[in-house]
Structure 1
Amino acid sequence: MPIIYALVSKGSYVLVEMMAKTGNMSAIARKILLKVAHKEGKMSYTYDNYAFHYVVSGYLCFMCLTDYNFSQTVAFSFLLRAQRRFIDRYGQTLENINSYQYQDFGLLLKEMMADYSILSPERLERAKDDLRGTKVPVAQNIDRLLQRHEKSELLVDQVEKTPFVDDSLRSAQRHNPTMKKAPWYKNMLIWLIVIMVLLVIGIVCILVGCGGFTFKNCR
């Protein structure tokens, strides 16, 4: 899923966010927000195998996290389309902010993330049309934005629930010790099976070499 995470904020206050995989991308996105949310403009910051893209207009910031090799043009097309739909629905000046009122937009954001993640020639052409007359910024390393003590390693799990991981699954993983230990139990089961197979092979070899259960050849 090339578009892994997306959010909408007013200043540094997150109104709605959606993620396609579990991980700490939300925490890193908030660190970026503190630096950029009050400055008009757009930018891309690369971070290892990923890239953060954002557009700030007025009080609103639209941000997404993609794979490093994902089309920057499509990423900004996604952000601009999300911006238009959000402003059409709620307006640019938001009062009495309550994050819960934007959950419906979260569902739309989720659909858009899945849609824009499927790259095609038609998608690329529409993205170019969206950005016609708009200069796409040159991506910079995130070190230019965040200090060393502000950075944390970006962790993105590879386990997905098509097309998005439930909040309920993430909660269960946090609170259910059995789920956390599942990989350990799986490895232990594999080793037990391997040991049993080796024992069976060893016993068969001994029986064949000794002439069966009577062990007549080994006396």
Structure 2
Amino acid sequence: MAILFAVVARGTTILAKHAWCGGNFLEVTEQILAKIPSENNKLTYSHGNYLFHYICQDRIVYLCITDDDFERSRAFSFLNEIKKRFQTTYGSRAQTALPYAMNSEFSSVLAAQLKHHSENKQVDKVVETQAQVDELKGIMVRNIDLVAQRGERLELLIDKTEHLVDSSVTFKTTSRNLARAMCMKNLKLTVIIIIAAMNPPLALSFLLLSLCHLHRDNWQQRERRRRNRFSSTSSSRLPVVGLPGQDVWRNKSRTILNREYEGTRI
């Protein structure tokens, strides 16, 4: 049981998101966001084995997707927490922000709170005051299929084996290696520029030497290709040429052998 996906959006404009596992979350979330009215509201949509919980306040939607056996109290505790943090951090800027404008900063907050509310089962004992229980009773659960338009298909596909923690580790490692390689490349370029500025003749010598090495390597490659073509052609098409007088000696040897063979037969 876990919170699978969380998103903060203004209408259908996504401002920040985080996924716990692989799935077509964005595709389904866009369909859900299009059905949420702009007035302040709290609601849970049900679809198959999943629940879509959301809080809409001041046109900003805080939504999460959970398994159907995940406690609704924990889901709305999570939404209230990210709503408080988002409003404190961004305030009115969220009303005019561009798509994904807060994602680089707030996605880490979503990830931390998502993990906390998914794994810490003691959250219920702390957050479930009587007021919150009463509030939860007033939040309706509605089947998403009832508000779907005719012919509209909403299908949530989730691959929990594709946990994004592994992907993020791989991505961070790749990014680190790429950054290191780019740093070394920039360092080499900087050294060359400094040498060129301080000693132009030396830089020119390095350049000419590099060109000579490049020309030599290209020439060697061409020679190797030419030899390979020549050897393959010679072995398949050209006759074998012997030393002077070698053919005469071969003919004499062949004649002697034939005579000895004929004498043996007689």
TM-score, shorter chain, exceeding 0.5:
yes
- Deviation of the 1:166 alpha carbon: 3.6
Larger radius of gyration: 2
- CA contact under 8 A between 1:42 and 1:54: conserved in structure 2? yes
1:144 is matched with 146
Matched residue SS, 2:126: helix
CA displacement at 1:89 relative to structure 2: 0.4
Structure 1 residue 56: deviation in Å?
Answer: 0.1
Does the CA contact (< 8 Å) of 1:59 and 1:92 recur in 2?
A: no
- Write the letter of the residue equivalent to 2:70: F
Q: Aligned-pair distance for 1:42?
A: 0.7
Q: Distance in 1 between matches of 2:166 and 2:34?
A: 27
Q: Say whether the 8 Å CA contact 1:53–1:75 is kept in structure 2.
A: yes
CA shift in 2, pair 1:164/1:95, >3 Å:
farther
Matches of 1:79 and 1:10, distance apart in 2: 15
Instruction: Check the 8 A contact 2:44/2:52 in 1, yes or no.
Output: yes
CA distance change for structure 1 residues 113 and 165 in 2, over 3 Å: closer, same or farther? farther
Cα distance in 2 for residues equivalent to 1:164 and 1:70:
24
**What 5-or-longer segments of structure 1 have no aligned partner?**
170-219
TM-superposed CA distance for 1:141, in Å, is 1.3
- Alpha-carbon displacement from aligned partner over 1:2-24 (angstroms, at most 9, x marks no partner): 10000001122110111111111
Evaluate the alpha carbon distance shift between residue 39 and residue 168 of structure 1 in structure 2; reply closer, same or farther with a 3 A threshold.
farther
Distance across 1 between alignment mates of 2:146 and 2:164 = 35
Contact 2:39 2:59 in 1 (8 A): no
| 5+ residue gaps, structure 2 | 172-266
Give 1:89's aligned amino acid: T
| Deviation readout 1:55-102 (Å, 9 max, x if unpaired) | 000121000000110000110010011000000000145354132344
The 5 A counterparts of 1:93-108 are 94-98=94-98, 99-108=100-109
Q: CA deviation at 1:160?
A: 3.0
Alignment TM-score, normalising by the size of structure 2: 0.57
CA RMSD of aligned residues (A): 2.3
User: Which residue is 1:217 aligned to?
Assistant: none
Residue 70 (str. 1) matches residue 70 (str. 2): yes
TM-score normalised by the chain length of structure 1: 0.69
Paired residues for 1:150-189 under 5 Å: 150-161=152-163, 163=165, 165-166=167-168
For residues 93 and 160 of structure 2, the distance between their equivalents in structure 1, rounded to whole angstroms, comes to 38
More off after superposition, 8-17 vs 137-146: 137-146
SS in 2 for 1:157: strand
Matched to 1:116, the amino acid is H
Alpha-carbon distance, 1:125 to partner: 1.9
